[in-house]
Amino acid sequence: MQGQRWRDLTIQALLAAGLLAALWWLLDVTASNMAERGIRSGFDFLTEPAGFAIGESLLPFDSADSTLRALAAGLANTLRVALPAIIASTLLGTMIGLGRLSPNLLLRGLCAAYVEILRNVPLLLQLLAWYFVVTDLLPLASEAVQLAPHVFLSKSGLSLPWFGGDAGLFDLPLQGGMNIVGGAALTPEFLALLLGLSLYTAAYVAETVRAGILAVPHGQSDAALALGLTRVQLFRLVLLPQALRSIIPPLTNQHLSLTKNASLAVAIGYPDLVSVANTTLNQTGRAAECIALIMAVYLILSLLTALLSNWLERRSGRWAERS
Amino acid sequence: MTHITCTHAWLRRNLFADAISGMTTVLLLAGVLWWLPGLIDWVLLKAVFKADAAACHAVNHGGACWGVVAEKYRFILFGRYPHAEQWRPLLATVLLLSVIAASGLRLLAGRRLLATSALALPGFFLLMGGGYFGLGAVGSDQWGGLPLTLLLASMGMLLAFPLAIAVALGRQSGLPLLRGLCALYVELVRGVPLISVLFLASFLFPIILPQGFSIDVLLRVQAGIVLFAAAYLSETVRGGLQAVPAGQHDAAAALGLGHWQSMRCIILPQALRAVVPSVMNSAVSIFKDTSLVTVVSLYELTGSLSLALAGDAEWRSYHLEGYLFIGLIYWIGCYAMSRFSQGLEIGTGDSRLRS
């Protein structure tokens, strides 16, 4: 046993030494490469003025503000599209997942077709297609489609009534000659990303929900029906609490990959974190720093989600025990 | 008579079981019937199939302009590859696809599959790159379209798999340092989006490699995809390893097998067989994810479509038809893989029953 322990220690010491040597060599090569090409390093660019504009932003931002603020605006934009998409995809996905378990053949078939089509085409392609549909095939703002009173859809995006404005509680968009004034305007980039992410992730959520409900033993439904529960009661009191336990972990994974997939915004020009960092990278040449920042932010998001997921799991466990 | 009652019973059971089901059927049917004629019109009846921009313009999006595919299919499928030499990527694609299909249909397995792959992959590179046997050299910066997509996906899978097994075994190792490093790698990669890994491969690899040791962007991006895929695959393999009962270890040890011997002959075969469906899921993901390399300027299927249409004022308003065309190619690939994995699940079940 003593021999084994010494052997393990030696192997690990060699491993650590090899790793450190490789790391040192890489850093050395990198430093000399960077010196040769005149690339500066460090995070000082974060406090310097960004020097570029951001198409849309929750945080007020202009090009004289610092790069750090630009990245923060990017992160805010990521969350601004990811959070509504998470809610939309969860609702739609749950409905489709339940639809796939319906006794009605037509409903089951349509829901299955939705999942099989959306899941088997790359998200990037779907985003590009939605973006093209919004920016090229919709009418001009002067001929905007009115979806509902004061809701206009056109090449320039979607205009909605929103709180505030001069005339009262709501600020209502109105058609004014060449374009639409007032209300809240959602840009085509935001719309395409929101739509693409929600529809694509809904297919995965549907599969998660379906698998979770199928994982509840069949005897449970039989027993509940024998006790005289209605189908709604069966679902609410028996299937859902048990299914949630196996649905929540993969569901949070889906939400996390949705947030990561929001980085595809760079392909359609929505200024999310990755796209702002990419612009910064091209302007400052600080590749290592920018990529490290993107990765660090996403790792922190992953960690927070994991914590939230654990907390939810504990809660759902308690809820199942109570009911 | 029985036939009619059968149909009636079937309808009743599947579409009109109760009031809610009946109403759902009627509503859905109405929706489909309202929507379907317009779709058929757009896709088929009013569509333009000839590569005739004027005719496409005349229908003004009332029908699909499949003419854009007829006009541009060579550019979409093969990217910027020299036009006169495009039989080479065609042949390379057919070669790669037939090896993949043959292994999928289990016409080839084990050593024969390895031997064929060992011939097919160099054949692929020879056809694409040229430089020998009188084939003109074509730089990898001119490769594009479908062969590039297939190359990135199949090499990604092929190279990620051994790495994933190594990492999964590393996470079970008795050495805390090795275990920690493997866990760190997996969690790091799984926590970040693929785009950031591709940026890393395309911007950072040139800076961290010694001077004069430049590798081209295709190889760097391929390395990025392999590193990314291996992290996800290793979690799958680890799941498989944990599913092998502990008794198998003990039994192998009792028979006098060493650690590596028992891994190779007893544990890994069972672990891998258990995770075939998840591995196929990963393969589907990698195939779809290759579309992201267009962000770092490699023109695979998605990128070559944009390249083909964006600069052409005559055809650029028919992007949607182009997206649908390559969407169909991706869909066929992904659907075939997921069907194949469902077939395998049944297949492995059988072999377990037999043994």
Contact A179, A142 (CB under 8 A): yes
Q: What is the mean pLDDT of chain B?
A: 83
Cα–Cα distance measured from residue A255 to residue A4, given in angstroms and rounded to the nearest whole number: 45
Residue B295 at interface with chain A, using a CB cutoff of 8 Å: yes
Under an 8 A CB cutoff, do A136 and B317 touch?
A: yes
How close B135 comes to chain A (CA, Å)?
A: 34
CATH class (in words) of the domain with range B46-81+138-354: mainly alpha
Spell out the domain ranges in chain A. Answer: 67-123+196-322
Q: Does residue A80 register a pLDDT over 50?
A: yes
Question: Cα dihedral angle (B52, B54, B55, B57), rounded to 10 degrees?
Answer: 120
- Out of A31-40, A158-167, B53-62, B310-319, pick the least confident: A158-167
Provide the token pair at B325. Answer: 């065309």
- What's CA A223's distance to the chain center, in Å? 40
Q: Is A98 on the interface with B (CB under 8 A)?
A: no
- Predicted pLDDT of residue B25: 87
Cβ contacts (< 8 Å) between A137 and chain B: which residues? 61, 320
**Is A91 a residue whose pLDDT tops 70?**
yes
Q: Is B215 left (phi over 0), alpha (psi -120 to 50) or beta?
A: beta
pLDDT of residue B355: 36
Q: Where is average pLDDT lowest: A81-95, A120-134, B18-32?
A: B18-32
ipTM over 0.90: no
Side-chain-side CA neighbours of A123 within 13 Å: the count stands at 29
Is B204 in the A-facing interface, judged by CB distances under 8 Å? yes
To the nearest 10°, report the CA torsion of B324, B327, B332, B337. Answer: -160
Sort strands A184-186 and A174-176 into parallel, antiparallel or unpaired: unpaired
Query: Residue B225: which of B305, B292, B128 has the closest Cα?
Result: B292
* Cα–Cα separations (whole angstroms), residue B150 to A8, A35, A248: 42, 39, 35
Determine the distance in angstroms separating the CA of B134 from the nearest CA of chain A, rounded to an integer: 38
Out of B29, B204, B323, name the one closest to residue A128 (CB): B323
For residue A8, list chain B residues with Cβ-Cβ distance below 8 A.
Answer: 174-175
Contact B217, B298 (CB under 8 A): yes
Q: CB-based contact (8 Å) between A107 and chain B? A: yes
Taking alpha carbons only, the member of B164, B162, B155 closest to residue B230 is B164
Residue among A244, A193, A238, A194 nearest A219 (CA): A238
Beta bridge partners of A66: A49
For A12, which of B32, B175, B210 is closest by C-beta distance?
A: B175
Give me the pLDDT at residue B212, please: 66
Q: Is B176 part of the contact surface with chain A (CB cutoff 8 Å)?
A: yes
Is the Cβ pair B334, A30 closer than 8 Å?
A: no
- Count the neighbouring beta carbons within 10 Å of the beta carbon of residue B46: 14
Distance CA A230, CA A238 (A): 11
For residue range B89-132, list pLDDT tens digits in order.
Answer: 888 888 888 888 887 777 666 777 778 777 888 888 888 877 77
| 3-class DSSP assignment, residue B131 | coil
Per-residue pLDDT band at B196 (split at 50, 70, 90): very high
Rounded Cα gap, residues A215 and A222, in angstroms: 14
A140: exposed, middle or buried (C-beta count within 10 Å: 0-12, 13-18, 19+)?
Answer: exposed
Percent helix, strand, coil in chain A, to 5, is: 70, 10, 20
- Residue A253 vs residues A259, B150, B225: alpha-carbon distances, Å: 10, 28, 20
Chosen for mutation from A11, A100, A106, A274 (greatest number of chain B CBs closer than 10 Å) is A106
> Backbone phi, then psi, for A179, in 5-degree steps?
-145, -175
Average pLDDT, chain A: 85
Q: Chains A and B: how many Cβ contacts under 8 Å?
A: 149
Answer whether A12 sits within 8 Å of B176, measured CB to CB.
Answer: yes
Q: What is Dmax (Cα atoms) for chain B?
A: 84
How many whole angstroms separate alpha carbon B229 and alpha carbon B198?
Answer: 12
* Stretch B54-60: mean pLDDT: 80
One-letter amino acid for residue B146 of the chain: L
The reply to whether residue A15 touches residue B174, judged by beta carbons under 8 angstroms, is no
**Token pair in block for residue B202:** 């395309």
Assess whether pLDDT exceeds 80 at residue A72: yes
Q: Could you tell me if B315 and B68 are in contact, meaning their C-beta atoms sit under 8 angstroms apart?
A: yes
Beta carbons of A11 and B175 less than 8 Å apart: yes
Q: Which residue has the higher pLDDT, B65 or A122?
A: A122
Q: Please, which pLDDT band fits residue A5 given cuts at 50, 70 and 90?
A: confident
| Two tokens, residue B80 | 């910027």
Closest CA to A211 of A101, A318, A67, A306: A101
3-state secondary structure of A185: strand
Interface test with B, best of A28, A124, A230, A284 (most B CBs within 10 A): A124
Alpha-carbon gap: B165 to the closest alpha carbon of chain A (Å): 19
Residues near A141 by beta carbon (within 8 Å), at least 6 away in sequence? A152, A154, A155, A156, A178, A179, A180
> Per the CB < 8 Å rule, is A124 touching B292?
yes
**pLDDT of residue B352 exceeding 50:** no
pLDDT of residue A1: 59
Fold of A67-123+196-322: MetI-like fold (1.10.3720)
Does pLDDT of A96 surpass 60? yes
Main-chain dihedrals φ then ψ at residue A172, nearest 5 degrees = -100, 130
Neighbours of A161 (CB within 10 A): 17
Q: Identify the bridge partners of residue B300 per DSSP, sorted by sequence position.
A: B145
CA dist B96 and B26 (Å) reads 47
Please choose, from the candidates A63, A61, A68, the residue with its C-alpha nearest in 3D space to the C-alpha of residue A46.
A68
Q: What is the mean pLDDT of residues A208-225?
A: 90
Range name among B77-86, B139-148, B205-214, B297-306 with the lowest pLDDT average? B205-214
What three-state secondary structure class fits B110? helix
CA distance B117 to B110: 11
- Provide the pLDDT for residue B351: 43
Q: What is the pLDDT of residues A29-62, one digit of tens each?
A: 888 877 777 777 777 777 788 778 888 887 788 8
Contact A104 B291 (CB under 8 A): no
CB A245 within 8 A of CB A316: yes
Helix (H) and strand (E) counts in chain B: 17, 0
Cβ neighbour number for residue B18 with a 10 Å cutoff? 12
CA distance A129 to chain B (A): 6
The verdict on A15 touching B (C-beta cutoff 8 Å) is yes
Mutate to test the interface with A, among B24, B33, B203, B334 (most CBs of A within 10 A): B203
CA distance A96 to A90: 10
Q: What is the pLDDT of residues A225-260, one digit of tens each?
A: 899 888 888 888 888 888 888 888 889 889 988 999
Residue pair B321/B68 in contact (Cβ under 8 Å)? The answer is yes
Instruction: Determine what percent of chain A is predicted with pLDDT higher than 70.
Output: 93
Q: Residue B281: which residues within 8 A CB-CB, separation 6 or more?
A: B338, B341
A1 in B contact zone (CB under 8 Å): no
Amino acid sitting at position B268: L
Domain spans of chain B, in order of start? 46-81+138-354, 82-137
From the list A30, A132, A266, which residue is nearest B295 (CB)?
A266
Is residue A193 within 8 Å of residue A262, measured between CB atoms? yes
Say whether residue B317 is in contact with chain A using an 8 A CB cutoff. yes
CB B101 within 8 A of CB B94: no
DSSP state of B315: T
